[in-house]
Amino acid sequence: MNRYPLWESFVPPSEYGRADRHAVAAEGVRVRFSDGRWALCATSGLWNVNLGYGNPAITSAVTDALGHASYLSLFRAGHEPAVRAATALLEVCGPGTFGRVLFSTSGGAANDVMMKLVRHYQALLGEPQRRVVVGLKGSYHGLTYGSFGLTGEDLGQHGYGVDQRAVRHVSPHDETELTTLLAREGRRVAAVVVEPVLGSGAHPLGQRLLAALEELRREYGFVLVADEVATGFGRTGRFFASEAWPVRPDVLITSKGLTNGTCAASAVVVSHEICQAFEDADATLVHGETQAGTPPTCAAIEATIAEMRRLDACARAARLGTLLDGTLARLEEHPLVSGSDGVGCFRSLTLTDPSPETVRAVVTEARHAGVLVQPGPGAIQLVPALTYTGADLAELEDRLRIGLDVAADRAVAA
């Protein structure tokens, strides 16, 4: 049987291998497909290629590491490239707050590690009953079984038998839901996990909830986790969005921009207080991953951080975010668009018809017009590389408008 060999994610088998979606090359902020067409990427890969495809410095660092030590494990051991990468990451996360880095291989896997970590930490403090992890409605933390359970979007968790018995979800905009939950079972809560910008819809975290977290943490003793898988590495105009919070998290998770998309990597960055509890008990966290923190990955992390600084990427992102304000305001005038959401260079356009069929139609027609966007709940995502030029942004607006026009005309004709 001549079956197409690749299982493509979030695609029905009937659409596998389509030439207009089969990528063969990528350079800068553009991707070439097997039908010969180039398209402007407005998704930064999958929100992770923040500095554009094929950055020479990162490529060189990974190549050198492959030649020096193609593989070294962190399983019951350490190695110098991982120590250097962890040190560099702590410097940008805040060494006054954070003391240690645990490397993983994806945002979903890192969230799984985090849930093990916070439950183990609470047990070390003498409170093993603290096993509940609280997330936010509309959040996205990944699709591994643990992170899928924590994800607050309805993505079919029930159908896959995902265990959510020790997970709760509260509103990101109404702090009274969290307050009520904590009053009822706060002594069972190990951690509260929040994204600075929520889920695939790019919804900023409510300021009232953010303002309440410090007092609630002090009263109930939970670990505060900032899931910055999507918002880290300059996406909102700061290295990490939680730098602007009135409260510092105890754990920070980063992944997507960590290697500029070159290696499968994530990191769980842990506060001095949590490190101290493990050190006092000389406790071993039961976790390990074969490909976590390999030398090429660690070289990519160091090089990405260096390139972020060289390019002044956070300042560039802040300027680009301001320009995006104007782009979105003009696109909101389109009859198929009802509004926009998000922060900095992590945005979404909300459609007047939020049905999945209309969202898919806009994504498809935008691709045909020469720009790549991803679908969100009732919206399309706009997540450009931090290296976009003014000309790139103008092209994005023009091509997306064409896609919206064609999708609107097809809807009327139907």
- Check residue 412 and give its pLDDT: 78
Burial track 138-156 (b if 16+ CB lie within 10 A, e otherwise): bbbbbbbebbbbbbbbeee
Q: Which one of 284, 310, 336 terminates a domain?
A: 310
265 touches 300 (CB < 8 A): yes
Which is nearest to 190 in space by CA: 230, 224, 164? 224
In a domain, 129, yes or no: yes
| CATH number for the domain harbouring residue 406 | 3.90.1150.10
Same domain, 223 and 334: no
In a domain, 294, yes or no: yes
Same domain, 292 and 324: no
Q: Which one of 263, 289, 310 terminates a domain?
A: 310
Give per-10-residue mean pLDDT for the chain (414 aa).
93 93 97 96 97 98 97 97 98 97 98 98 98 97 96 95 97 96 98 94 92 96 98 97 96 98 98 98 97 98 98 98 97 97 97 96 96 96 97 98 95 76
Same domain, 217 and 152: yes
* Sign of CA pseudo-dihedral 215, 251, 193, 200: positive
- Name the DSSP class of 69: -
Same domain, 280 and 327: no
Same domain, 160 and 202: yes
| CATH number for the domain harbouring residue 230 | 3.40.640.10
SS (H, E, C) 221-265: CCEEEEECCCCCCCCCCCCCHHHHCCCCCCEEEECCCCCCCCCCC
Give the total number of structural domains in the chain: 2
- Name the DSSP class of 27: E
- Check residue 413 and give its pLDDT: 77
3-class secondary structure, 155: coil
Alpha carbon distances (Å) from 35 to 69, 165, 396:
38, 47, 21
In a domain, 2, yes or no: no
- Check residue 217 and give its pLDDT: 98
Same domain, 22 and 107: no
Side-chain half-sphere CA neighbours of 204 within 13 A: 18
Same domain, 257 and 340: no
Same domain, 332 and 194: no
Same domain, 75 and 203: yes
360 touches 1 (CB < 8 A): no
Q: Which one of 283, 310, 337 terminates a domain?
A: 310
Measure the CA–CA gap between 257 and 265, rounded to whole angstroms: 9
In a domain, 7, yes or no: no
In a domain, 318, yes or no: yes
Indicate the pairing of strand 251-254 with strand 223-227.
Answer: parallel
Same domain, 108 and 26: no
In a domain, 1, yes or no: no
List the domain range (segments joined by +) for residue 399: 13-54+312-413
Strand partners for 270: 100, 251
In a domain, 4, yes or no: no
Under 8 Å CB-to-CB from 196, ≥6 apart: which residues?
A: 204, 205, 226, 228, 231, 236, 241, 242, 245, 343
Same domain, 159 and 271: yes
In a domain, 296, yes or no: yes
Same domain, 250 and 360: no
